[in-house]
Structure 1
Amino acid sequence: MTLGDLLAEAAARAPALDAVVFPDERLDFAALAARAGELARGLIGLGVAPGDRVGILLANSPDGAVLLFACALAGAVAVPVNTRYRAVELPFVIADAGLRIVVTSDRIDEHVDLAGLLHEALPGLADAPDPAALELAGAPELRCVVALGATPRAGLLGEDDLTARAVAVAGDDLARRGAGGALGDDALLLYTSGTTASPRGCRISHDAIVRNWTMVAGVLGLGEGDRLWAPCPLFHLAAIGPLVSCVRTRAAFVSDTWFEPRRALDLVVAQRATHLYPAYPPITQRLLAQEGFDAASLTAAQVIVNVGPPDLLRQMQAALPGVVQLSLYGSTEGGGAITYGALDEDLETRITTCGRPLPGTEVRIAQPGTDAPLPAGQEGEIQVRSPVLFGGYANDEAKTAAAFHAEGWYRTGDRGALDDAGRLRFLGRLKDMLKVGGENVAPAELESLLATHPAVKLVRVVGVPDPRLEEVPAAFVELRPGAQATPEELIAFCRERIARFKVPRHVRLVTSWPMSATKIQKGPLRDGLVAELGPAP
């Protein structure tokens, strides 16, 4: 079913059950559906047509969840935008996605001024003569930016204006819009870093997102009335997916506007969360490190999901002896989840493998470069064939074609092996890509940025292990003759221009490079720095 149908079914079956729960606000399924319908009518009133793309630049909030379904009801494609992006990063996504409308809010102005960020990213926005009919050189298809909340902002439409336009759209018009959608239509366009400097938009259909996360709900044993805590941001499938699972099963999606460990732990305990979906060990570790933490206080918790190395998963399982820890293998291109562990498997199996493919999904290991299938036990590229795979990269037919084998196998660029029972072991990445606390970071993007510094002649970026984030970027920089710059200055240069998680944690100035016949070898650079830094504390 479509996302809109999914919400309608939940509201019909369990209208009074909690749907979205935040510390200071909650919506039951009836209210979630009503608010989604109101915002959908507002989008239609602003001229959103079927297939148009709507940007969602919001912190986690009830309205952030609502807008994903509002876009579906209006026949639009939701484009959740990373709130960590800086002003130099936003214009690419806005233009590449062809966004017609961007919706933001003043909910987290004390932490991040999102409207101010848009003003900085889009010259002319603050001075626009008609906020409902923007004409911006840097975003030619963008027609308006809507700001939910009580703070008027120059060049932005307010929530009152959106509400007024919603009133002018009849319920029958909304029903016809929703009925006109097809399962194969795009529901989401999610941007993920590729091996090039710019992120790529992954097209995810209604069928893919609903089918995939219905199966995940089954694996987790999630049911009506359960409460799933998901702290990840709603521009990431580690939160969007669990939200879909909750609506599918009429469970409550529990989250917060930002992650603070003490506040998060109090929320989990107070809400008696039955399922914990931190997904990434840094979040779980910070939760467990809270002073006075007592696993006995999590009396309702049954399942926790983390993705990480076995030793770390083993430590976290030991800290939560009454909760079953599961792991998975997934990607944005794979709809979020490709393989999953099982609740009835033993501990060693659950922490050393990523489980078996979800129903309807096939996974094989192939020889990189030739795509020849490899037998169980041999390492190679993880390849996936499934109805829940993404529909291709937006505006890039060449990259889409290169990502797929002729027989429909998606080349993940990741390295792994299958055991005799069909369980997957993830062994790293074949492609040049870093995973920083669960976020993809392209070394090419950092190299391109640092190359714009006037003192920099040449730069290469590698990943080095980190006890909290799994991996962090490290930059090796050769300065121009006669130029000067300290590592601290180069880190500050990056911090001002890109999202914090992308900023190199280490910078080393070099005057020579390890070379192959024609290329700089990153392996020796990484190995030397790892040896210098020593064992992780």
Structure 2
Amino acid sequence: MPASSATPTPLTASIARGATDVPLIEQTIGALFDAVTARQPDHEALVSVHQRRRYTYRELQTEARRLASALLGLGLQPGDRVGIWSHNNVEWTLTQLATAMVGMILVNINPAYRTAELEYALNKVGCKALVTMARFKTSDYLGMLRELAPEWAHGEPGRLEAQQLPHLHTVVWIDAPHQQAVHEPGMLRFSELLARGDAGDARVSTIGAQLRATEPINIQFTSGTTGFPKGAALTHRNILNNGFFVGECMRLTPADRLCVPVPLYHCFGMVMGNLAAFTHGATVVYPNDAFEPLTVLQTVQDEKCTVLHGVPTMFIAELDHPRFAEFDLSTLRTGIMAGSPCPTAVMQRVVRDMHMEQVTIAYGMTETSPVSCQSSVDTPLEKRVATVGQAQPHLEVKIIDPDTGAIVPPGQSGELCTRGYSVMHGYWDDPEKTREAIDAEGWMHTGDLATMDAEGYVNIVGRIKDLVIRGGENVYPREIEEFLYRMPQVQDVQVVGVPDPKYGEELCAWIVLKPGQTLSEDEVRAFCKGQIAHYKIPRYIRFVPEFPMTVTGKIQKFKIREAMAQQLGLQEARTA
């Protein structure tokens, strides 16, 4: 749909409303997937290249119903939380669909999480079951679970008990079809669980018919400035409509084949990828379990993909691959670039060299399911480069003065707020933080500084929240600071983002040691390794006697950024 349809007349204030000519979907995810399957049962729905597996819509529906039946057989009920701790694969998507069919709440867990983060996430939302990869490269997921719960060595699958993980009673590990049997004490193989299910189980249809679209169906963790991640609870209505309208901006049809190299545990993969495709009867294609530029290029060529998603660093890696010129990418036409600001030169190369003349830019956050603004296939290239597009259908976006709450004039900077169907149900079991984020009138306060022009195009200019975006990953410094405070030598610590040509930003920690204590950079990194995700470990570590402060005692993080940028010979650090 043309982006210009959202704001047909020049704006006199920085508030815009998206188009409403296409109605919202009021079905559940399961009901909509069943309807699409009924229309085109033999159309290809999912291709997992690295697993060499293909599914039509009917085949995917059958397997998802079988898994839903098996989950019910474990004693799980609608509303129970089921975690998924894995990179991209068929099992991830089957779990996404199956849980939605019977009203269980899928909990996305970042595969980069380590023991401390995993323990917090599982216990915060009370996960009763966890589907996990066994291992990936140097990550031993089952080993980390055993570290948290050594009691499971003597447990029975489906009846686990552990002091550190009191809610979790079932762990299902993802095996490969026809893989030789491997015994994992206390844990179920995914193929074994699937074999227990019955695609014709009447309970699946009965429960599905009773579900409401406004019920939470997904929890995604987003780090908070208080140091601990918050679980954003999203409903069928939230993510199904967002996926649909994201697909509308790209004008998806069943003829499209969407290459998804972005992670499914992010909204980017599971909503802007999976649900954007499924709501339009298109085909989803996974080139690999995790991003690798060569397999993306090979997959686009071999599978004749028409749509490609990615953060700017992914597109840069693909364009700069030494074998780039060998591949025929002429089938591409559109896709989404999001996650961090897109350099103009990169956008121009994507359009010219990857044939993505209709590539779109999207902006959002987990708490808004995620997209609030997006350009469309009709948006002029200069607008796609300089802005994040206009308000999505059925959504309102406004820019306010952070101090007064007043809507600012076009062109003036202020805090971006979003209202509409996409705003989350709330932070799981945290009404106080929910009230801080969503005001009494339903506006989600993003913490981002933005401007809006007279046509309603939004430009993100900075951040109110102390957020670092490293290669598309959102990192809140307070979480890292809280973790480093655990070191007995640390008296105080401040973490900031500094410019980086590859990742956009890198983490830097300034540490004040307790009197008489000594500590090295390597000791700090060793303390972090295996406990927090690799991308949260500061690249730069400096030991300082004190922090720059205002006369009132407030730490001036922008001066830390400026000092590091000067010391490292980087471009001036952001001060927002």
Query: What TM-score, normalized to structure 1?
Result: 0.95
**CA shift for structure 1 position 170:** 5.7
- Residues 248-268 of structure 1, C-alpha deviations (whole Å, 9 max, x = no match): 111111112122111221111
Which aligned pairs between 1:107-118 and structure 2 lie closer than 5 A?
108-118=135-145
- Residues 73-105 of structure 1, C-alpha deviations (whole Å, 9 max, x = no match): 122111121111001110111011111111124
Out of 187, 194, 198, the position equivalent to 1:156 is 187
Partner amino acid, structure 1, of 2:376: A
CA contact (8 A) 1:230 1:277 kept: yes
Q: Summarize the Cα distance change of 1:309–1:60 in structure 2 as closer, same or farther, 3 Å threshold.
A: closer
> Following the alignment from structure 1 to structure 2, what is the Cα–Cα distance between the partners of residues 312 and 224?
31
Which aligned pairs between 1:110-509 and structure 2 lie closer than 5 A?
110-128=137-155, 130-149=156-175, 150-159=181-190, 161-163=192-194, 165-167=196-198, 171-241=201-271, 242-255=273-286, 256-278=288-310, 280-294=311-325, 297-307=328-338, 312-321=343-352, 322-324=355-357, 325-509=359-543
CA contact (8 A) 1:334 1:388 kept: yes
Partner amino acid, structure 1, of 2:303: Q
> Following the alignment from structure 1 to structure 2, what is the Cα–Cα distance between the partners of residues 535 and 529?
8
**CA shift for structure 1 position 470:** 1.3
Out of 90, 99, 104, the position equivalent to 1:62 is 90
- Greater than 4 Å deviation, 4+ residue runs: 108-111, 308-311
> Following the alignment from structure 1 to structure 2, what is the Cα–Cα distance between the partners of residues 166 and 534?
59
Quote the residue 2:11 is aligned against: none
- Residues 33-62 of structure 1, C-alpha deviations (whole Å, 9 max, x = no match): 011011100000001111111111222101
**CA shift for structure 1 position 493:** 2.2
Q: Summarize the Cα distance change of 1:316–1:109 in structure 2 as closer, same or farther, 3 Å threshold.
A: same
- Per mean C-alpha deviation after superposition, the further-off stretch among 131-140 and 198-207 is 131-140
**CA shift for structure 1 position 342:** 1.9
Partner amino acid, structure 2, of 1:207: R
Q: Summarize the Cα distance change of 1:117–1:26 in structure 2 as closer, same or farther, 3 Å threshold.
A: farther
CA contact (8 A) 2:68 2:204 kept: yes
CA contact (8 A) 1:433 1:440 kept: yes
Partner amino acid, structure 1, of 2:81: R
**CA shift for structure 1 position 109:** 4.4
CA contact (8 A) 1:90 1:121 kept: no
Q: Summarize the Cα distance change of 1:536–1:270 in structure 2 as closer, same or farther, 3 Å threshold.
A: farther
Out of 32, 37, 54, the position equivalent to 1:11 is 37
> Following the alignment from structure 2 to structure 1, what is the Cα–Cα distance between the partners of residues 500 and 326?
26
Quote the residue 1:520 is aligned against: 555
> Following the alignment from structure 1 to structure 2, what is the Cα–Cα distance between the partners of residues 127 and 287?
47
- Per mean C-alpha deviation after superposition, the further-off stretch among 316-325 and 240-249 is 316-325
State the identity as a percent: 34
CA contact (8 A) 1:46 1:165 kept: no
- Greater relative CO (CA pairs within 8 A, separation 6+): 2
SS of the counterpart of 2:42?
coil
Partner amino acid, structure 2, of 1:381: E
> Following the alignment from structure 1 to structure 2, what is the Cα–Cα distance between the partners of residues 286 and 46?
43
**CA shift for structure 1 position 296:** 7.2
SS of the counterpart of 1:415?
strand
**CA shift for structure 1 position 487:** 1.9
SS of the counterpart of 1:285?
helix
> Following the alignment from structure 1 to structure 2, what is the Cα–Cα distance between the partners of residues 435 and 125?
37
Partner amino acid, structure 2, of 1:92: Y
> Following the alignment from structure 1 to structure 2, what is the Cα–Cα distance between the partners of residues 60 and 309?
21
> Following the alignment from structure 1 to structure 2, what is the Cα–Cα distance between the partners of residues 205 and 494?
34
- Per mean C-alpha deviation after superposition, the further-off stretch among 37-46 and 96-105 is 96-105
Partner amino acid, structure 1, of 2:506: V
- Per mean C-alpha deviation after superposition, the further-off stretch among 444-453 and 38-47 is 444-453
**CA shift for structure 1 position 427:** 1.2
- Per mean C-alpha deviation after superposition, the further-off stretch among 526-535 and 477-486 is 477-486
> Following the alignment from structure 2 to structure 1, what is the Cα–Cα distance between the partners of residues 167 and 291?
34
Show structure 2 runs of 5+ residues with no match: 1-26, 176-180
SS of the counterpart of 2:383?
helix
Query: What TM-score, normalized to structure 2?
Result: 0.89
Q: Summarize the Cα distance change of 1:41–1:309 in structure 2 as closer, same or farther, 3 Å threshold.
A: closer
Which aligned pairs between 1:67-86 and structure 2 lie closer than 5 A?
67-86=95-114
> Following the alignment from structure 1 to structure 2, what is the Cα–Cα distance between the partners of residues 267 and 511?
52
> Following the alignment from structure 2 to structure 1, what is the Cα–Cα distance between the partners of residues 80 and 145?
20
- Residues 173-196 of structure 1, C-alpha deviations (whole Å, 9 max, x = no match): 111011111110111111111112
CA contact (8 A) 2:312 2:342 kept: no
SS of the counterpart of 1:305?
strand
SS of the counterpart of 1:364?
strand
**CA shift for structure 1 position 527:** 0.4
Q: Summarize the Cα distance change of 1:185–1:289 in structure 2 as closer, same or farther, 3 Å threshold.
A: same
Quote the residue 1:98 is aligned against: 126
CA contact (8 A) 1:377 1:417 kept: yes
Partner amino acid, structure 2, of 1:172: A
**CA shift for structure 1 position 439:** 1.5
CA contact (8 A) 1:191 1:201 kept: yes
Partner amino acid, structure 2, of 1:127: H
> Following the alignment from structure 1 to structure 2, what is the Cα–Cα distance between the partners of residues 109 and 3?
30
Partner amino acid, structure 1, of 2:504: E
Partner amino acid, structure 1, of 2:149: L
